[in-house]
Chains A and B, each alone.
Chain A
């Protein structure tokens, strides 16, 4: 069964506090290729690898059904800095 954006969003928000979330369906509708940007305070003091492992774990069932899954993980502070830089 294809994964939809809403299911992903629910699974993430159920598990961790989310400051900002972008989910992009890059599969042109077939639901097997997603890229997410996730900003959460739970990433504080965690390495990128630890953050990705965390997201992989909480989306385990969904990722197993996809072909590709790409993620960017930031703490609220990192995200603010990033926004400031790009504006």
Chain B
């Protein structure tokens, strides 16, 4: 992580004017660059559900990411409403998303641009039924009609 931030700071410095050199380098070293921040801001709004994970839904590289993929799958989140990002393929995103969300771990789930949580929270919400409600209220999955619900009850 140290090396990543260093590398991105060097990149920033080479692009800046000499007078702002020191300032921008210090800023870049400590926090997310504006460029990375705006990149993530648009990424979280790309689709109703956005998942930052290690690996891909087909081949998760971590058990926690796998669990979140399985939960979203269980709720039948349609593929066209979901976007996943593999943080292992993008070192800047990997460190950037943690700072952006102020959340220290990956996976991370966003619904309509709002941070929902990581694996623990998703599992908890799945068990309590909150996740279903959240996905329904955000138009990600269709609401189960009252009639249908009483018919099966």
Measured CB to CB, the nearest residue on chain A to B118 is A52
Residues 28 to 44 of chain A near chain B (Cβ within 8 Å): none
**Interface of A, helix, strand, loop or mixed by DSSP:** helix
Total count of chain B residues near the partner, CB < 8 A = 16
| Docked pose: A39 CA to B1 CA in angstroms | 32
A49: contacting residue among B104, B105, B121, CB under 8 A: B121
Nearest residue in B to A72 (C-beta to C-beta)? B120
Chain B residue at minimal CB-CB distance from A71: B120
Quick one: which of B102, B103, B105, B115 has the most chain A CB within 10 A?
Answer: B105
* A56-B119 contact in complex given A48-B124, A68-B64, C-beta closer than 8 Å: no
Q: How many A-B residue pairs have CB under 8 A?
A: 33
Q: Give which listed residue, B1, B64, B105, B117, contacts A48 with CB less than 8 A.
A: B117
Please, how many angstroms separate the alpha-carbon atoms of A49 and B119 in the complex?
11
Which residues of B are found within 8 Å of A19, using beta-carbon distances?
A: none
Contact at A69–B121, with CB atoms within 8 Å?
no
Of chain A, the residue at the smallest CB distance from B105 is: A69
Chain B residues positioned under 8 Å from A53 (CB to CB): 102-103
In chain B, positions 93-118 with a C-beta closer than 8 Å to chain A are 102-105, 115-118
